[in-house]
Amino acid sequence: MLTTSLEKILKFSWKQKTITAKQITNSLGLEKSTVSRNISKLREKEILLKVNEISPSSLGGRKTIVYSFNKEKAYVLGISIEQDGIEVVKTNLFSEIIYKKKLNKKISKENITEEIDKILKTHQDVIGVGISIPGIVKNNTVIFSEALNLKNFNIVNNLNASIPMFVEKDSLCGAIRYSLKNKNIIYFQFSIPYYVNEPVGFGVGLVLNGKPYYGNSFFAGEYKLNKCIYNQKIPLEKFFDLEVNIDNYLQKVSEKIGVISSVFDPEIMVIGGNITLLPQISHIKEYLMSEIYMINNRNIEIKIEDGREFVNAEGAAINVLNTIFSNKKWLEYFYKKVIYGA
């Protein structure tokens, strides 16, 4: 049984990564005997590992033992689904990537379940799966995804999986990627479609006070820009070879995201999506400096993602870890499956 004291110690130890018995006692207000008993149990199950000893002071006393949460005790999977393919990452319990792979393939309602099933069968050692989807998502159901032609589609119910799965929209997964170090995040996801004369997909992921923000109807961050980066019908891969000036597009979208950033006043705002593969994307930072109200009086970090990184897949994996170690129901699952192998 997962006691309240053990629940607190597990959460604290995972978040801090390395701890001592004294830190646990002082931070959680638990009795020394309770802490000692639970540490012994977690050491026995190899959840906590002894990593160091600190010598006592010149006044005497006992050595202080330093423990580390065993980051390799279990693994989670992050899967990012986009119209043009799938990105997969496997991470340890500290969200460090140990495996990643990209599948270039057209994804739609017809094959999405089959492709995810294939991935799950090759990673049966994971304890949870996070899935990033372009569109509006509520309680693992894709309410609407124009990119994947999905409507009221529950991904989890269509999969033959016995492990916890958590589905979130792509821009929110992008924001969650930064949630281990920041509490207030805005992530702007720009997805250029296969044909560049079609409107660029746009979504906003919000993390406020350390928690994902969904809005009253789960539509927070949904907005249609209805602007394309080029007026001729050519594939994106060919567009990369052209010397096309997209500054006008960047200036226009900077006006919109400047207003949003001014209103929410985040610690960090991130520009992500495949638009970051375009060299001119670096100009957007200059435009934002003039669009965010009183930017010089704010403490906002503006970051442009590296489009080659598996951002949303990584965020989906981190979402699994955040959920497990913040929710008693899922921590109970971790306790039974990982600690006792049930």
Same structural domain, 252 and 179 = yes
Would you call 221 helix, strand, or coil by DSSP? coil
| Residue 60 belongs to a domain | yes
69 φ, ψ to 5°? -65, 135
CATH no. for residue 23?
1.10.10.10
Q: 14 or 2, which is more confident?
A: 14
Tally of domains in the chain = 2
Reported confidence tier of residue 1, pLDDT bands at 50, 70, 90: confident
Reported confidence tier of residue 340, pLDDT bands at 50, 70, 90: confident
Same structural domain, 22 and 115 = no
| Residue 216 belongs to a domain | yes
Q: Which long-range contacts (CB under 8 A, 24 or more apart) does 106-115 make?
A: 107/81, 107/82, 107/83, 107/148, 108/83, 108/148, 108/149, 109/148, 109/149, 109/150, 109/153, 112/81, 112/148, 112/150, 112/155, 113/155, 113/158, 113/159, 115/86
Q: In which domain, by residue range, is 33 found?
A: 4-70
Same structural domain, 9 and 154 = no
pLDDT mean across residues, the chain: 93
Same structural domain, 259 and 128 = yes
Tell me the per-residue pLDDT of 11-43, one tens digit each, with 9 for 90 and over: 999 999 999 999 999 999 999 999 999 999 999
Domain boundary among 70, 87, 109: 70
pLDDT confidence of residue 61: 65
Task: Tell me the C-alpha distance between 64 and 85, whole Å.
Answer: 50
| Residue 38 belongs to a domain | yes
CATH no. for residue 204?
3.30.420.40
Same structural domain, 208 and 308 = yes
Q: Is the predicted pLDDT of residue 234 greater than 70, yes or no?
A: yes
Domain boundary among 40, 70, 100: 70
pLDDT confidence of residue 221: 92
| Residue 133 belongs to a domain | yes
Same structural domain, 21 and 154 = no
Handedness of CA 324, 326, 330, 335 (dihedral sign): positive
pLDDT confidence of residue 60: 61
| Residue 281 belongs to a domain | yes
Task: Tell me the C-alpha distance between 62 and 216, whole Å.
Answer: 54
Same structural domain, 44 and 127 = no
Tell me the per-residue pLDDT of 86-100, one tens digit each, with 9 for 90 and over: 999 999 999 999 999
* Cβ contacts of 103 within 8 Å, gap of 6 or more: 85, 86, 87, 88, 115
Same structural domain, 193 and 312 = yes
pLDDT confidence of residue 105: 86
Tell me the per-residue pLDDT of 316-332, one tens digit each, with 9 for 90 and over: 999 999 999 999 999 99
Instruction: Compute and round to an integer the Cα radius of gyration of the chain.
Output: 22
Reported confidence tier of residue 225, pLDDT bands at 50, 70, 90: confident
Q: Is the predicted pLDDT of residue 58 greater than 70, yes or no?
A: no
